[in-house]
Amino acid sequence: MRLEIKDLRVHYGKIEAIKGISVVVNQGEIVTLIGANGAGKTTTLKTISGLRKVSSGAILFDGQDISKVPAHERVDLGISQAPEGRGIFPGMTVLENLEMGKFNRKDRKSEMKEDLDRIYTLFPRLKERTAQAGGTLSGGEQQMLAIGRALMARPKVLLLDEPSMGLAPMMIANIFKIITTINTELGTTILLVEQNAQQALQRAHRAYVLETGKVVKEAKASDLLNDPDVRAAYLGTGAAAH
Amino acid sequence: MINIRDKGAEIWETWNRPKRVAFVLISIFFAGLLPFAADWGPTSFLNTPITSFQNVLVYPVGMFILMALGLNIVVGKSGLLDLGYVAFFAIGAYSQAILSTKFGWSTWEVLPVGIVIAMFSGMLLGLPALRLRGDYLAIITLGFGEIVRIIALNSKGTGGPNGVAGIPNPPAVFGFKFDLMHPEHYFWLVLGMILLVVWMIRRFTVRRPGRAWEAIRQDEDVAALMGVNTLVYKLWSFVIGAAVGGAAGVLYASKVMVISPDMFKFDVSVLILACVVFGGIGNIWGVILGAGILAYLPDRIRFISDARQVIFGLVLIIMMNLRPDGLLPRKKREKITEKSKK
């Protein structure tokens, strides 16, 4: 698996939101895109998953340009996203939400069970809530559900859009721990978009810093943690996660 | 306020199969007796003053229920606001009118063709329109409804503003005659179609299309992220809704025998939508109840003539305030239920 974005440009009407960025995600990596509001992080992810149209440039997945492939087919290729704001179906139960994650996979019942077991092992909390409506879960539980649902499709690459958004500090630490677990134990490649740069950089292998639709820095995550510019702009003094 | 629908579902869950079948058969039996309700002492209050009760049961009551069920697939199940649903009703009715008067087809021959024509026009409308969402989609469907009516108004083949007269009644089936003297036969026919549509919707709902529609209604973007081909499933709900509207139109034309463009105005679309919302958007039992009441009420209170529409409006306003989710709302999942607590 190799995901490569080449000189990507994306427009909202006449406004250019992504101004030619290039990002590479290799098999087994956690790569993070960090940056302020409006830097283009979410747009980049939405373009990879197919919700946004490409103006120019290419999205190469295992060497093939998928920028014209409709969103619902990219799931089958192995790209799953846990969207910004979690995007769980509030009127469906936890189980139904998870089953939606496998919508196109006509696997046998045993595989569905296998997948559910895998998700429930990862998120025991979801197992307790299996018959509960998604809309009644806490923010952290909803985030677990969004990630679990994306994993149901057995993705090669998992796109996570601000998983820490709106969560309590305890829960943030918990979610990031799980992200590492998914990467190491399931072997899933992860592209993580985060405003919580501190946590993201601690978990990721490599990182890109986005500013107003452009990549301004690209380095090993551990290097960026010590980079004075990044520290000043995104980590602040004290660098407490919030 | 208590949710009767959830209560009903709870009781239903505890029943075994024979009990359920018995309940369904008994319900259908009583529904079949409805045309005689006005003649029977205890329920004679149901009688309508001007049009005979049996005719009211066919049109508007039966037809409205049928159309509301069809519109509910579009609006209630997949959450697409269709303000031009009358167009499919009109297309069905004109199919029957033209094919029977010009080519001598019987209603039974027209019915499948009329349904196919309605489905095809549903696809024609859906393909461009369904790329848009919410308000924009609603406006396009509204426009479509008007286009169909105006074409009927201005074409020679459709009889222009005079419409088409002399549409034959359906031929008799198993000795059941369909004519002015036997409105109860029409009612049984419509009842049969309603049951068929209910059965079809229930089949769909528990299978993949139902899940896809539910996902699209709750969040279209996320549905696409789950691998749902949103355009195709939205198109399907549109086309199936159109089929039901078309079928209702074919029957309607062969019952009333004369149709004209002013029967297919925008207000019919709005009224059917009101039936869906009033009864409980997304829940077929609510929709049936809502359409039944809203179709029946104006005829029941016809004796107060001018104040009729005012009363009708008042009932709508008061009920929507008391029960904003409709008479029998769809299953409320946003609350924690007893079952999920354990």
- pLDDT tens digits along B226-271: 999 999 999 999 999 999 999 999 999 999 999 999 999 998 999 9
Query: B139 lies in a domain?
Result: yes
**Mean pLDDT throughout A185-197?**
93
List chain A domain ranges: 2-235
* B219/A72 Cβ within 8 A: no
pLDDT band at A237 (very low <50, low <70, confident <90, very high): low
Chain B positions in Cβ-Cβ contact with residue A90 (cut-off 8 Å)? 218, 333-334
Q: Given this model, what pLDDT does residue B336 score?
A: 46
Q: Given this model, what pLDDT does residue A107 score?
A: 65
**Mean pLDDT throughout A107-133?**
90
Instruction: Report the alpha-carbon distance of residue B34 to residue A21 in Å, rounded.
Output: 69
Query: B314 lies in a domain?
Result: no
Structure ipTM: 0.92
State in Å, rounded, how far the first CA of chain B is from the last one.
Answer: 24
Full-model pTM: 0.89
Instruction: Report the alpha-carbon distance of residue A239 to residue A227 in Å, rounded.
Output: 13
- Of A87, A132, A153, nearest to B222 by CB-CB distance is A87
Which stretch of A171-180, A223-232, B137-146 has the lowest confidence by average pLDDT? A223-232
Instruction: Report the alpha-carbon distance of residue A123 to residue B18 in Å, rounded.
Output: 40
DSSP 8-state symbol, B173 = B
3-state helix, strand, coil in chain A (%, to 5): 40, 30, 35
Note the pLDDT tens digit of each residue in B275-299.
999 998 989 999 999 999 998 888 8
Query: B274 lies in a domain?
Result: no
Note the pLDDT tens digit of each residue in B236-247.
999 999 999 999
**Mean pLDDT throughout A146-172?**
94
Instruction: Report the alpha-carbon distance of residue B166 to residue B263 in Å, rounded.
Output: 16
Sheet holding A30-35, edge to edge: A79-82, A157-161, A189-194, A30-35, A206-211, A214-220
Instruction: Report the alpha-carbon distance of residue A184 to residue B319 in Å, rounded.
Output: 57
B206 interface with A at CB cutoff 8 Å: no
> Is the model's pLDDT at A85 over the cut of 70?
yes
The residues of A whose Cβ lies within 8 A of any Cβ of B are 49-51, 70-73, 75-76, 80-81, 83, 87-93, 96, 99-101, 103-104, 129, 131-133, 135-136, 149-150, 153
Instruction: Report the alpha-carbon distance of residue A221 to residue B77 in Å, rounded.
Output: 46
- From the CA atom positions of chain B, what is the Rg in Å? 20
Instruction: Report the alpha-carbon distance of residue A193 to residue B298 in Å, rounded.
Output: 58
Phi, psi angle pair for A192, to nearest 5°: -115, 125
Chain B positions in Cβ-Cβ contact with residue A49 (cut-off 8 Å)? 225
| Mean pLDDT value across chain B | 88
CB-based contacts of A37, cutoff 8 Å, min separation 6: A195
DSSP 8-state symbol, B46 = G
Whole-number Cα distances in Å, B170 to A141, A182, B60, B95, B251:
59, 65, 18, 14, 8
pLDDT band at B37 (very low <50, low <70, confident <90, very high): confident
Query: B128 lies in a domain?
Result: yes
Note the pLDDT tens digit of each residue in B39-73.
777 777 777 777 788 888 888 899 999 999 999 99
Q: How many CB pairs under 8 A join A and B?
A: 85
Q: Given this model, what pLDDT does residue B87 score?
A: 96
**Mean pLDDT throughout A76-88?**
93
> Is the model's pLDDT at A238 over the cut of 50?
no
Overall domain count for chain B: 1
Q: In this structure, are residues B233 and B80 in contact, taking their beta carbons and an 8 Å threshold?
A: no
Best to test chain B binding among A81, A88, A89, A141 (most B CBs inside 10 Å): A89
Q: What is the CATH number of domain A2-235?
A: 3.40.50.300
Rounded to a whole number of angstroms, the distance from the CA of B229 to the nearest CA of chain A is: 6
* B221/A87 Cβ within 8 A: yes
Q: Given this model, what pLDDT does residue B332 score?
A: 65
Q: Given this model, what pLDDT does residue B338 score?
A: 42
Best to test chain B binding among A103, A143, A157 (most B CBs inside 10 Å): A103
The two three-digit tokens of residue A51, written as one number: 């919700």
What is the chain B residue with the closest CA to A81?
Answer: B225
Rounded to a whole number of angstroms, the distance from the CA of B57 to the nearest CA of chain A is: 35
DSSP 8-state symbol, B45 = G
